[in-house]
Every structure is written in C-alpha cells, then in structure tokens.
Structure 1
Amino acid sequence: MNFTIKEAPGIGVEMANVKKIVDLKDREEVTMEVEVVKIFAPREFIRKDGRPGKVRNIMVKDDTGDCRLALWDDDTDLIERLGITVGSRLRCQDCYVKQTDYGTDVGKGKKGSIALI
C-alpha cells in the first residue's frame, strides 16, 4: 500500500527549515543536518554557582562549513546512547546558536533533539 502526502491550505506536513552552517545567526533556534568530524572527551567543571557541570563537544560540518556542537550535562552520553561516531550524519533539531570569539557554537539545549540520519 502506497501513501502520498499532499499539501492543503492549513494542513500538511511541517518541515523544519534546515539551515546550513554558513547561514547560522547568533541566538537563533535552528535545525541542521551535519556530519560528525571529531568527537572530544567529556570535560567536567564547576559552575560559578558551585554546582558541577559536564560538557562534551563534537565538531560537525556540512557543505558550507563547520561548527562546534555542545552537549551539556546529561546529554554528554548521547554519543554512546545513539552510537555516534566520526562520519555519522546527524539531524539537530530546535538547537540554539551562539557566536563566540572562536566561531559558531550550536547547543542542543533542553528542548532540542539530536538523531542519527
């Protein structure tokens, strides 16, 4: 049985606007599809308020550039849970962009999601 999805006014399949890395702007919420270039080890630290924290960075790229994808605290084990390796393709949805002195950072945040594609 085959199904065809047709668009109708006010009804349809919502497709997230997938952004290219070159088009990412500071403080925007984005969806992007990228390839993993490098996975860094998790790093533990103490926040200014004295609470412990953990971060794990992944370098990712698309056909327009590269950026750092930051996974914080409980999300640092997503790499193992999802089986992410160098060369994996990821869909990062509802993530946030931060421009830093070192380049573009993308964070998953609490409402974002990351999936293998």
Structure 2
Amino acid sequence: MRNALRCLLPAKSLQNELLSAIKDKIEELRDLDISKSATVVDQLVKLSATIERLDKEASAVDFIECFMAFGRWLEYQAETDLEITPEFRKLVNKYQNKYILEMLSSKL
C-alpha cells in the first residue's frame, strides 16, 4: 500500500511546480512590453486552471487523513457511547481500508 500512495503523492509536487511556473510567468510579465503580454497572461490562465483541476481531486491521502481523524473521534465518542464497541470500530476500520485499497487499485 505504501508504494501505491507514493504514486499519488506527486500530484502535490506537480502543484508546487505549477505554482513555481506561475511565479516565473509573473516575473516575465514585469519585464515585458504591455503589447506582448497577452501570451504570458494566457499561459498564466492555463496554469491556474490546471492547478484548480488538480486541487479539486481528492486523493487517497486525503481519505486516509479523514478516516484517521474519524477513527480518533470515534474512539473519543466510545468513552461515553456504549453502542460504539471495539468490534464496531474494527468493522468501520475494515471497510475504510477496503475502500482505500479499491481506490488505489483503480488509479494504478
């Protein structure tokens, strides 16, 4: 599972590279004649749209973090709610893991 997660992590790296490219284009705009800036502005719009598309996609890492937070919350709730048994928490965890594994296998 760890190797599969590594395949999904480069999206964040790609976002960082795109942000760096945007920064470079902004620097380029500062030095350009206004009449030649349309091309750079178009490139900026395209880079921004790409980041938005990448940002909207929830990754397996996002789900794992959410499930871990939910697990901690469930554990806390179990202190006062007798219906939340250890067996119930194990069952919830089992299906969360199954969901993540299916998600990873469909993206590979």
Q: TM-score range by the shorter chain?
A: under 0.3
Higher relative contact order (CA 8 A, sep 6+): 2
Give TM-score, length-normalised by structure 2.
0.22
Structure that is richer in helix per residue: 2
Larger relative strand fraction: 1
